[in-house]
Amino acid sequence: MQEVAYPILTSLVLFPLVAAFGLFFFRGDSAVRIYTLIVSVIELLLSIPLFMGFKLGSAEFQFVERMNWVKQWGIEYYLGTDGISFLMVVLTIAVLPLCVLCSWSYIKTRVKEFHFCLLFMTAACVGVFTSLDLVLFYVFWEAMLIPMYLLIAVWGGPERKYASLKFFLYTLAGSALLLVAIVAFRIAGGTFAIPELMEKTFSFGFQFWAFLALALAFAIKVPMFPFHTWLPAAHVQAPTAGSVILASVLLKMGTYGFLRFNLPLTPAASVYFAPMMIAISVASIIYGGAVALGQNDIKKVIAYSSVSHMGFVTLGIFLFNLHGLEGALFQMLNHGIVTGGLFMMIGAIYERSHSRDIYDNLGLGKYMPAYMGFWGLFALSSFGFPGTNSFVGEILVFIGAFEQNPWIGACLVPGAMIAAAYMLRISLKLAWGRPSSWKGWKDLNLREWTYLAIPAVFVFYIGLAPALTFKVMDASLIKLQNDVHTKSQAVSIDDERPLDMAWNSIKNIVK
């Protein structure tokens, strides 16, 4: 492991957290917005050493920071990043200034508290993706729940109370299962340190139940069908920045959990449950796309499309081949870029029409050509058009699926076709539909151009030149793939019956 003298990761976690409390020294909404934007830019500058010092082609954890936290319990302050988490850290930091810009004129009440939540959320999310201690990971995992709940409950739409409560209860249920798994790993493995647990081999009976606890916790966060029902309500009711953070960062915590915990810590159980996870992923892809196709609320279309897109990610993960894993991680990054951009565009048009219904926003191509130009780009990327970033991830998942089993690949084809159908349907109506009357809306202003141009650049860059992204992720994914294959074969499944073991454990507890 590469340890560093300068605590880069700590600075990325603590700076937005400390800066969040600095907001309370400012008066005036404009000053708060400018201060938060400056903080977000400084956070990007603080990440430069991370870019410069990251060793391409290394599967080791880098920028490691480790010290005792609660020594008596074996809990450590343990941070580090590898090719899997690096991309998620970068995505989290990059999203913050975009959220500030897209909320500039939309948020008019409790502006200071709103930006406090944005900064607090960023700190918690960076902590989730860099934690190498299970307890520390859980602390950050729970910490992000509070500001996200507030973003929906305080600044959300008319049904914000219902949406925020549903989000909170679903996430809390997943967190309880995650906590059970963490305690179990501490008892069985003797440590909370994730890299040390990765070196251990657990019995299949233990892996069976640990996998189920972890998988349910992460499936709720992704979310996978049928645990998805909280997501459309949360997206529709959340303010624009809340939807962007939810789509770009929070959903990735679930799939990151599969890559960081399920596969390396419970490899035999992951292989055992792979057919079930693949089946659920295919169901998510087709169900999410089919429901999106029938929606007239633009936000609901993109919300249900997220269920479908994240299905591609979970399917790629449980194919256990390199193409599938690469496609999954690419799609995690690409979905954050494209769907974040689409939600920002929905927020921009909502500020003009005060409606998210397709039929209240017809004919924008004639009067707002710049807006529809960006929308067209993100829409094409959303269904994997060649030359865009999503094409790279989607084609890798397809290749991985056909390598594993041609029938799995065949099941993905309807999902891809439905994605094209719902995105083209909504795009054609927005561009060339006949508006009942024109309200004199203006095209994109400079601020909107700025926060839309940034993700647009990465749509083309990753789509046309993905080599650097491959170099970042490949070493870690190859190591993960090899570890899963090696460790899953080292554990005997036939010798243990998990249900019998659970029943015997219950009887022992009763006695």
Tens-digit pLDDT profile for residues 158-199? 888 999 999 999 999 999 999 999 999 999 988 999 999 999
3-state secondary structure of 81: strand
Continuous H helices in 238-321: 240-245, 251-257, 263-265, 267-293, 298-317
Q: What percent of the chain has pLDDT over 70?
A: 94
**Distance separating alpha carbons of residues 13 and 122, to the nearest angstrom:** 8
3-state secondary structure of 39: helix
- Say what the pLDDT of residue 450 is: 93
Each residue of 236-275: pLDDT tens digit? 889 999 999 989 899 899 999 999 999 999 999 999 999 9
- Say what the pLDDT of residue 475 is: 92
Cα–chain-centroid distance for residue 213? Answer: 20
Name every residue whose Cβ is closer than 8 Å to that of residue 192 and which is 6 or more positions away in sequence: 74, 75, 76, 133, 134, 135, 136, 182, 185, 186
- Say what the pLDDT of residue 318 is: 94
Other CB atoms within a 10 A radius of the CB of residue 226 amount to 11
- Quote the DSSP letter at residue 66: E
**Distance separating alpha carbons of residues 179 and 386, to the nearest angstrom:** 42
Query: Which residues, given as ranges, of the chain have pLDDT below 70?
Result: 1-5, 436-439, 492-511
3-state secondary structure of 129: helix
- Say what the pLDDT of residue 337 is: 93
**Distance separating alpha carbons of residues 316 and 394, to the nearest angstrom:** 9
- Say what the pLDDT of residue 507 is: 47
**Distance separating alpha carbons of residues 435 and 442, to the nearest angstrom:** 15
- Say what the pLDDT of residue 359 is: 87
- Say what the pLDDT of residue 2 is: 55
Q: Per-domain residue ranges for the chain? A: 8-491
CB 12, CB 4: distance < 8 Å: no
- Say what the pLDDT of residue 510 is: 44
**Distance separating alpha carbons of residues 185 and 193, to the nearest angstrom:** 10
- Say what the pLDDT of residue 79 is: 94
Asked if omega into 223 is within 30° of 0 (cis), the reply is: yes
Other CB atoms within a 10 A radius of the CB of residue 494 amount to 6
